[in-house]
Amino acid sequence: SYELTQPLSVSVALGQTARITCGGNNIGSKYVHWYQQRPGQAPVLVISRDNDRPSGIPERFSGSNSGNTATLTISRAQAGDEADYYCQVWDSNTGVFGGGTKLTVL
């Protein structure tokens, strides 16, 4: 079965750029979606199809996907960006989530 690997945690200074990676075999051949989940809340889609931002998501959020790694980039990090972030792909009609990354804004 297909697996996605994310770092357990990423830290970023306030106002700096955070990068969260998602590794998978030839992930560049798949669309990657990213979700933000704040404590006690349901997930929210922040990036779809590698680098599309849904309505209402700040331009500070962007994504890329190539080779074996997809990356979610959060520019000018704010305190409100502290959350868990999950990458997700579809593989043979099966949904696959990465293990999640906890983003801490220092």
Residues of this chain, 46-75, that bind another protein according to CB under 8 A: 48-49, 54
Q: Which long-range contacts (CB under 8 A, 24 or more apart) does 37-44 make?
A: 37/83, 37/84, 37/85, 37/86, 37/100, 38/82, 38/83, 38/84, 39/83, 43/86
Q: Among 11-19, 40-48, 56-64, 75-83, which window interacts with another protein (CB under 8 A)? A: 40-48
Among 12, 33, 103, 105, binds another protein (CB under 8 A): 33
Among 15, 16, 38, 90, binds another protein (CB under 8 A): 90
Q: Which residues contact 26 (CB under 8 A, 6 or more apart)?
A: 67, 68
Q: Which residues bind another protein (CB under 8 A)?
A: 1, 31, 33, 35, 37, 42-45, 48-49, 54, 84, 86, 88, 90, 93-100
